[in-house]
């Protein structure tokens, strides 16, 4: 559906030439929800502007549905842009137009017969759940409702692709969830290809099928959302995944655990105590995991803290576990966990900020 090849974009700044994009290569399949994520300055905004040719790349090609946009004359490009809908972070609604009027605008610009516009607009407002607010003005509706208007407007010309440029960044978490659910529902009902430009790993985790991670204008890695979350390969992806899925022990908790481990060792000769950080994919029942450790090995394991996230139907997360038993038995138990693709790290001697 979207094929980006060897894309470069450079800007002149007061401090010299700035390379915003450096040889981007991406392929987005028809009907998928594809995430493009990265920290500030990674090149996300430039890439989305190049994808609909609001910015002309210095070199490289952008192919949408088998046609290279980068080689089109302006008149043909205007036609092709109608195949690409766009939703924005700050909604970009016209304040003097009603909800109905904002959604109707692209149809008017495209020259759709006036008699055909109401049917299309009303169907779109029903799709996004706003058919009861068609005569309201933007100042009279909430942020989430404004974004629903933006989504309906972006779908007005029945595009093949929907570009979402940080569309949930200005929304609270609950509203973000409802907007993402709406986009997923639209994707399933219409088969439209959606590209999510975001810096929020929570957005990628909830809605995207695949994801590309940008860093300093380059693609650091791509893969399914589950693969990137469960085994990130680049430093930037590891940092972003860690911030979204991991959990840290407070200094007070670490202090209490250190004392507890010291007491265990002092009171039970021959018994060792270890604090493990377990990183897992696919094991959602942490209590069952600990019970199995106690059943299969002479080890007593207790859950200290956990954070488990659902990523494309699989559990991905971090457990902190206090384990006690003979050193050899703890080694066997740790090896058994590793064999189940659970990463085990002994953090007994690490500082509290881990």
Q: How confident is the model at residue 246 (pLDDT cuts 50, 70, 90)?
A: low
Per-residue pLDDT, 9: 95
Q: How confident is the model at residue 352 (pLDDT cuts 50, 70, 90)?
A: very low
> Which residues does residue 221 pair with via DSSP β-bridges, in sequence order?
213
State pLDDT tens for residues 81-112: 888 999 988 889 999 999 999 999 999 999 99
Q: Show the tokens assigned to 299.
A: 């080890």
List the domain range (segments joined by +) for residue 125: 91-158
Per-residue pLDDT, 354: 42
Is 126 within a domain?
yes
> Which residues does residue 300 pair with via DSSP β-bridges, in sequence order?
324
Domain boundary among 183, 217, 245: 245
Kindly report the pTM of this predicted structure. 0.81
Is 351 within a domain?
no
More confident residue, 137 or 91: 137
Residue 353 has pLDDT above 50, yes or no: no
Q: Residue 107: which H helix or E strand, with range? A: helix 99-109
- Whether residue 130 contacts residue 88, with contact meaning beta carbons closer than 8 Å, is answered with no
- β-strands 300-311, 16-28 pairing: unpaired
Q: Show the tokens assigned to 62.
A: 């952008």
Q: Are both 71 and 179 inside the same structural domain?
A: yes
Please state the rounded mean pLDDT for residues 201-229: 92
What is the signed CA dihedral for 287, 288, 290, 294, rounded to 10 degrees? Answer: 140
Domain boundary among 158, 187, 215: 158
Tell the residue number behind the tokens 């893969």, with chain if given: 223
Q: Are both 71 and 203 inside the same structural domain?
A: yes
State pLDDT tens for residues 12-39: 888 889 999 999 999 999 999 999 999 8
Per-residue pLDDT, 274: 94
Q: Are both 198 and 322 inside the same structural domain?
A: no
- Whether residue 127 contacts residue 153, with contact meaning beta carbons closer than 8 Å, is answered with no
Q: Are both 150 and 265 inside the same structural domain?
A: no
Q: Are both 240 and 297 inside the same structural domain?
A: no
State pLDDT tens for residues 256-289: 899 999 999 999 999 999 999 988 877 556 778 8
Tell the residue number behind the tokens 């470069």, with chain if given: 8
Query: How buried is 250 (Cβ within 10 angstroms: 0-12 exposed, 13-18 middle, 19+ buried)?
Result: exposed
Domain count along the chain: 3
């Amino acid at each position: 559906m979207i094929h980006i090849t060897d894309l470069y974009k450079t800007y002149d700044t007061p401090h010299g030439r700035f390379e915003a994009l450096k040889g981007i290569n991406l392929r987005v399949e028809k009907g998928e929800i594809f995430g493009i994520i990265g920290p500030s300055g990674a090149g996300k905004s430039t890439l989305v502007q190049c994808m609909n040719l609001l910015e002309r790349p210095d070199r490289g090609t952008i192919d949408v549905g088998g046609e290279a946009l980068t080689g089109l004359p302006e008149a043909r490009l205007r036609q092709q842009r109608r195949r690409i809908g766009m939703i924005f972070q700050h909604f970009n609604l016209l304040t003097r137009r009603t909800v109905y009027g904002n959604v109707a605008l692209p149809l008017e610009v495209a020259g759709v017969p006036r008699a055909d516009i109401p049917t299309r607009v009303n169907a779109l407002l029903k799709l996004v759940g706003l058919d009861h607010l068609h005569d309201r003005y933007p100042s009279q509706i909430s942020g989430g409702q404004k974004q629903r208007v933006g989504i309906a407007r972006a779908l007005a010309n029945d595009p093949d692709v929907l570009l979402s440029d940080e569309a949930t960044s200005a929304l609270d978490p609950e509203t973000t969830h409802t907007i993402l659910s709406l986009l997923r529902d639209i994707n399933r009902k219409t088969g439209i290809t959606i590209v999510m430009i975001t810096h929020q790993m929570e957005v990628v985790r909830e809605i995207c099928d695949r994801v590309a991670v940008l860093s300093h204008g380059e693609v650091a890695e791509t893969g399914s959302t589950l693969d990137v979350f469960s085994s990130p390969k680049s430093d930037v992806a590891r940092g972003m995944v860690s911030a979204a899925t991991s959990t840290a022990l407070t200094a007070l908790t670490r202090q209490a655990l250190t004392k507890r481990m010291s007491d265990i060792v002092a009171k039970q000769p021959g018994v060792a105590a270890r604090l493990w950080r377990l990183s897992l994919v696919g094991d959602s029942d942490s209590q069952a995991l600990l019970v199995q450790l106690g059943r299969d090995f002479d080890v007593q394991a207790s859950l200290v803290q956990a954070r488990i996230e659902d990523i494309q139907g699989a559990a991905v997360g971090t457990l902190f576990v206090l384990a006690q038993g003979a050193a050899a038995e703890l080694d066997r138990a740790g090896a058994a966990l590793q064999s189940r693709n659970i990463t085990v790290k002994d953090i007994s001697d690490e500082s509290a900020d881990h």
